[in-house]
Amino acid sequence: MKSNKRNLLPGLAFFLISLAGSAPAFSQASPGLREQINKIQTLIDQKGGKWVAGETSMSGLSPEEVQSRIGLTFTEMKEAPLPETPSERLPSSVDWRNAGGNFVTPIRNQAKCGDCWAFALTGALESYVMREQNAPGADLDLSEQVMLSCSGIGSCNGGTLNGNFLQRTGLPPESDYPYTAADGTCSSAAPGWENEAYKIDGWAPVSHSLSAIKSALAKYGPLPTGMLVYEDLMHYKSGVYSYTTGKKLGGHAVIIVGYNDAGQYLTVKNSWGTGWGENGFFRIAYSEVNSSVSFGLNTIAYKSASLKDAGTASGTGNAETWTRVAPMFDPLLQWNK
């Protein structure tokens, strides 16, 4: 028996070393950061929250570095909002990452530049192009730098959400002006980039309500949107986020890519890299649309004259619903001509 135990020791040692190697980076956090995150998690539990706080790629940043990654300025939308379909006529869930294929491009990292607005507008354009070309999973990477340096609607100090530049000029591939995380100048883009640019046919605001957001998402694909960010979001690891604690940091632009009625959440693509959240994505509770987070402010939708099939987002086993609903979307094709 003693001999057998000795034989087990090397395997046990390897197992323990493997566990240590795969342990989360949280174990390397400073005592102060660990204490801060533990307090947040305690408050989440006390308030009945459904998300997990932990160390992320945003957790160890200085207040100045965090602030440099938040840069959305909210504006009053003068255009008429998009008409919506009654919520009872919509599918119970939508996820554009799994809607007969993946129509959402990989997570990007805006780095130390407050151009979240440019990443939200660009990422939604990538999804738009894939939907228009019926090319799920396409290797498409458009230039956020052109959006930042040429659009005139913002800088690394912040910007707004509107689709005028995308409708008028559009964005070329990333290679025409690789991202620098700095304002840059439009003259630095490759000559003739406009000839390679992808455009949208039109755009319109989406009313700040859950029903309007779900309606637009199901019909028009991933949506650029805004929210107010609080300190606790820096430590979001997983689950369905709801504001718990911390001061307000400012406006931030992201992309809504799905919703789920059973779980009462929206699925969102962020631009803080894959070391934050659920590999760069996060889920947020429906309740946060009307909370201090004001999720969904300044949401816009992109128009495509060629996309007439209201069922492209079904991917949820709800094809019959869409078959009944499709005729109801015909009037929506008239908006923002």
If you write DSSP's letter for every residue of 179-240 in order, what string do you get? --SS---GGGSPTTGGGG-B--SEEEE--SSHHHHHHHHHHH-SEEEEEEEEGGGGGEEEEE
Tell me which residues are annotated as active site: 116, 252, 270
CB 188 within 8 A of CB 163: no
Dihedral sign (CA 182, 109, 59, 293): positive
Residues 187 and 165: their CA atoms lie apart, in Å, by 17
Number of CB atoms found within 10 A of residue 193's CB: 20
B/e letters for 99-133, b = 16+ CB within 10 Å, e = fewer, are bebbbbbebbbbbebbbbbbbbbbbbbbbbbbbbe
φ/ψ of 228, rounded to 5, equals -95, 130
Residues 123 and 47: their CA atoms lie apart, in Å, by 34
Number of CB atoms found within 10 A of residue 216's CB: 27
If you write DSSP's letter for every residue of 110-150 in order, what string do you get? --SSS-HHHHHHHHHHHHHHHHHTT-TT----B-HHHHHHH
Residues 325 and 259: their CA atoms lie apart, in Å, by 18
